[in-house]
Amino acid sequence: MTPKRRLLQIPPGTEGFFLEEAFRHRRILSEIDGIFTGWGYLPAETPVFDFYDIYKPLLDTSSSERVYRLMDREGELLLLRSDVTLFLAKQMGMALNREDLPVRVWYADSILRHQQSDDISKNEFYQIGAELIGIPGLEGDAEVLLMAAEILEFLKVDAVLHLGSAALAHEAARGLQDEEAKELFSAIALRDTETMKNLLLQGGAADPEPLIGLFSFLGSSGEFEEFLRRQGDSVGPACSPHLSRLLELAKIIETSGSSGPVRIDLSETGSQNYHTGIVFQAYLEGVDSAFLSGGRYDRLLETFGFDSPSVGFSLLLRKIEPLVGNPERFALPGSIEQARGETLQEKYRDAVQKRARGRIVRL
């Protein structure tokens, strides 16, 4: 690429948008702001970059390859914000006391992730999300899932919410080394039954078939309930609490009245390696990958000095903005008036009077 042409482009993993498109983005964001506020969540801002070393143990190979790093003037290696959740966890871990709990926060910010110059479909540039800190178990999980479902309802997208369990996958991998456990999680995500079988046997499973059947399951809560009835105790008592919680959560979301289709999908083991409990992702036809993801991560804040249960989700807004239903809700107003008057002062006074009545007026 010639130097002149490079100056006329922006680096992969960044984005700019303007005028009507930016107006639409701000309008959608404003409405989601209102939903978070209505649930009692307060906004949080995170830094654009932070020290890389503290986050390095939390980044898997794929994440490490996509982040941007740079050196500061003192020679410290810095990480540009690629996942608001991690940056927010550090801020909360440094700032919170036990007396503050529970804490409800939400965020909306740009993120920077490397992508190939020919991969223009990702649009992973803007992350909106919420974190509930200090409420463990079903109550916290249900609150965050219901709030995510309400936002999907507001966006009017025909999304399907998939619920899974990182805790169940960790239980199955108990007898494996770290690298082998990662291989198992990958095999579960790909529904690679042969690799699953080999690794489960390697981890000490006497009969891997019930677990393979479990991790291959995809269906409604009713179908899952029937599946568990047929399975009986074959998956072992250690898995039962995770399965019961997942079924109860699915029923809560399905009966909430503000959700599209919900599927229990045990190939979902978590989009991040710090997930410890329930996990969930939302998918939409025409979008190449999940645009909303979340879950429980009860040990993440401990990394930053504050041990507290946490659950949350994030949504890649720019990824689905073209698919939002009833887009006229966010369009520019149809009527923009011209101020009347002979002089600039007269036009200004006329515009002030009309704007006070809710009209949009240009000088």
Q: Look up residue 265 and give its two tokens.
A: 């999908």
User: DSSP 3-state assignment of 244?
Assistant: helix
For residue 177, say whether it is annotated as part of any ligand binding site.
no
Main-chain dihedrals φ then ψ at residue 186, nearest 5 degrees = -65, -40
Alpha carbons within 13 A on the beta-carbon side of 45: 2
For 106, the enclosing helix (H) or strand (E) is strand 103-110
For residue 202, say whether it is annotated as part of any ligand binding site.
no
For residue 345, say whether it is annotated as part of any ligand binding site.
no
Q: Look up residue 132 and give its two tokens.
A: 């509930």
Main-chain dihedrals φ then ψ at residue 268, nearest 5 degrees = -80, 110
Distance spanning both ends of the chain, measured CA to CA: 44
**Residues 300, 311: Cα–Cα separation, whole Å:** 10
For residue 113, say whether it is annotated as part of any ligand binding site.
yes
**Three-state helix/strand/coil letters over 110-159:** ECCCCCCCCCCCCCCCEEEEEEEECCCHHHHHHHHHHHHHHHHHHHCCCC
For residue 84, say whether it is annotated as part of any ligand binding site.
yes
Nearest one of 316, 318, 298, 317 to 308, comparing CA atoms: 298
For residue 207, say whether it is annotated as part of any ligand binding site.
no
User: DSSP 3-state assignment of 316?
Assistant: strand
CA 344 and chain centroid, separation = 49
- Longest CA–CA span in the chain (Å) reads 90
Alpha carbons within 13 A on the beta-carbon side of 305: 9
**Residues 314, 23: Cα–Cα separation, whole Å:** 22
Taking residue 159's Cβ as centre, other Cβ atoms within 10 Å add up to: 25
211 residue type, one letter: L
Annotated binding site for L-histidine: 83-85, 113, 127, 131
Q: Specify binding-site residues.
A: 83-85, 113, 127, 131
